[in-house]
A and B are shown apart, each in its own frame.
Chain A
């Protein structure tokens, strides 16, 4: 790598965003850190190509796509990335009663995300956090577009049950414009 300082600066600046994506994908802090670190290792190999020359790319988009593919591959291999057992099941999970408590919000969204099926959570994260189109989500997860739609619908419905304190408008997000810009990649 020619410019290690630039890479270090990139990690310092965009590392938290990658960690957040890792947590949303894995719902586990340690696994999220491992996932992001692995993606960074792979990014190093392609850093020069992505940051220099006429075909300059977007390192963060590359890292995010790498994290998604690593996680999806591992999830598909293991049929669900089982990290730790839960004491409660989805049916007996009770909603939070104090919607104003940010800490409680976080904990319960965490729990609600964990109680989603992996594919539902993957669809929600890719569609509404990574802002991928339905086609891109379907391609990434290697499922059909109609499955993406149904999984998103079911996942949102489940979130409404598990986390009723969330703003209903938040759980009825506007559908991203799938047809006009199918290849867009949003970078935060």
Chain B
């Protein structure tokens, strides 16, 4: 007797009286085929069995898509042509919408120049092309945090965005109050650069960003945590850094000021102007003392927050709370007139009617057309946001753009390129696609698929699952080692 025969005999005796039921198998197969999973399995099985035919069909579809790519591209582009085309009119769009989630990334489908930068309630940043017709999404996921700032360079060809460490939060178990502050600098059409602001290892917080006129220099103000006092208290030091783009497209970070106030802006000639500089010594790029009476350094009395200079650099405007009394606080646009090297304390108030119900104003730029600002007002359970010109003479305001809020949230303009603003032109704003099933979205989907992102993402997910599964199985196997599986 062979082992085969012995096994067969033992099995035969063990299974005496047992039988298989063909009708049960047939009924079960019929039932499974009727379920969605069964149908899917049947289709998948048939497809796999007809491997060459299925592959040929898939290849044909892909070929068709790629052959029709130019046609799809023409349909997807707006009527005014791509942004930045010499003949396209450049201006501020008269309407702004919150772009949908399927808006293409600016790194995937670059635009030549941006006119307006938007920021939504979730910290997602968007760009609107200089002709106001195309929307692009910023890859804020790079920073692992929501964007707090999105600022366009004067020519609209560079954009900086970033978040402060507070959003990221300190590491678990760390006593640092903030995480590091991260900035992303993108030259449209090029790669994004990630820059971490230098800190003392305890984190930092960004306060304000200002581009110099050449678009290759960026000033950043923020606070660096210098020491922990105890009981959760910490000391901070206000800093100003200058980021400069070098010839090889990298960025260098230089600390230009320590223990200084945070209000900054840049003059048309690129000179950094600081608000209420205080008395603590600070450093300029060469390491010498930054003096308030040094050439090129202006002081602005009064408000220390956000302010703007007029193109000639003789006047500044700030959004200030005139009274600390409550209620109600009285808000004003304050215009300071320059006198000598300093701006005189003579303040001109631009009246804002109290009935406006304006809780917030964001100053964007000051051009020959006036002061461009975003006014947000509450009106019966909804928020209205407008982009307006305000006259520095009498405070008269002219609405340019209404921001359309939809049921899925809002995106507010947070930056306008000086090139677009100074043009004084208002163009018809193109509405972003309301449906994902547009040629543009289809192209984006195909692009991301064919570029392997989905494949790579899936592979990474499967690999992670496989590694975890293997680890769990090995752990279990280690526990069971030495035992009979049936004991």
Give the B-binding residues of A (Cβ under 8 A): 1, 4, 7-8, 10-12, 15-16, 18-24, 29, 32-33, 36-37, 40-41, 43-46, 49, 79-86, 89-90, 102-103, 105-106, 109-110, 113-115, 117-118, 124-125, 128-129, 131, 156, 166-167, 169-171, 173, 188
B8 at the interface (CB under 8 A from A): yes
Q: Pick the contact of A86 from B21, B480, B486 — CB < 8 Å?
A: B486
Query: Which residues of B sit under 8 angstroms from A169, Cβ to Cβ?
Result: 2
Residue among A82, A124, A129 with max Cβ neighbours from chain B (10 Å): A129
Distance of A7 Cα from B28 Cα, bound (Å): 14
B14 to chain A: closest residue by CB: A23
Contact of A33 among B4, B7, B18 (CB under 8 A): B18
Known contacts A80-B486, A109-B6, A170-B2: A7-B11 contact under CB 8 Å: no
Question: How long is the Cα–Cα vector from A149 to B2 in the complex, in angstroms?
Answer: 19
Per-position binary interface string of chain B over residues 8-21, scored 1 when its CB falls under 8 Å from any chain A CB and 0 otherwise: 11111111001111
Check A16/B15 contact, CB under 8 A, given A79-B480, A106-B9, A106-B10.
yes
User: Once the chains bind, are B20 and A20 in contact (CB under 8 Å)?
Assistant: no
Task: Please indicate the chain B residues that have their CB under 8 angstroms from the CB of A49 in the complex.
Answer: 49
A19 to B6, CA, bound (A): 16
Residues of chain B at interface, number, CB under 8 A: 40
Partner of A37, one of B9, B25, B487: B25
- Among B19, B28, B29, B485, chain A packs the most CB atoms within 10 A around the CB of B485
The chain A residue with its CB closest to the CB of B32 is A41
A62–B100 alpha-carbon span in the complex (Å): 51
**Interface membership of B453, Cβ < 8 A:** no
Apart from A20-B12, A106-B14, 11 more pairs, CB < 8 Å: A7-B25, A15-B19, A15-B20, A20-B8, A22-B15, A80-B485, A86-B484, A102-B9, A103-B13, A115-B484, A166-B6
Check if B74 is an interface residue, CB within 8 A of chain A. no
**Top 5 closest pairs, chain A to chain B, by CB:** A80-B485, A44-B29, A20-B11, A15-B20, A40-B25
Q: B37 contacts which chain A residues (CB < 8 A)? A: none
Known: A16-B12, A20-B15, A117-B484. A131 touches B4 (CB 8 A): yes
- B24 in the interface (beta carbon within 8 A): yes
With a cutoff of 8 Å between Cβ atoms, the chain A residues found around residue B285 in the complex are none
In this assembly, does B3 line the interface, its C-beta being within 8 Å of a C-beta of chain A? yes
Question: Cα distance A71–B250 when bound, in Å?
Answer: 59
Which of A43, A131, A170 makes the CB contact (< 8 A) with B6? A170
Q: How far is the CB of A80 from chain B (nearest CB, A)?
A: 3
**A81 contact set on B, CB distance < 8 A:** 485
B26 and A110 within 8 A (CB): no
Q: CB-defined interface of B25-43 with A at 8 Å, one 1/0 digit per residue?
A: 1101100110000000110
Cα–Cα distance between A81 and B480 once the two chains are bound (Å): 13
CA–CA, A129 and B484, complex, Å: 23
Smallest Cβ distance from A96 to chain B, in angstroms?
A: 12
How many angstroms from the CA of A10 to the CA of B6 in the assembled complex? 25
Check if B3 sits within 8 Å of A170, measured CB to CB. Answer: yes
B2→A29 contact, CB < 8 A: no
A170 to B14, CA, bound (A): 20
12 A-B Cβ contacts within 8 A?
A24-B7, A40-B25, A44-B25, A45-B33, A45-B41, A49-B49, A85-B486, A86-B487, A105-B10, A128-B2, A131-B4, A169-B2
Is B15's CB under 8 angstroms from A29's CB?
yes
Least CB distance from A49 to B in Å reads 7
Nearest-neighbour CB distance to chain B for A1, whole angstroms, equals 7
B3 touches A82 (CB 8 A): no
Q: Does B22 contact A (CB under 8 A)?
A: yes
Residues of A within 8 A of B477 (CB): 79
Q: Which residue of B lies closest to A79 (CB)?
A: B476
Which of B7, B20, B25, B28 contacts A128 (CB under 8 A)?
A: B7
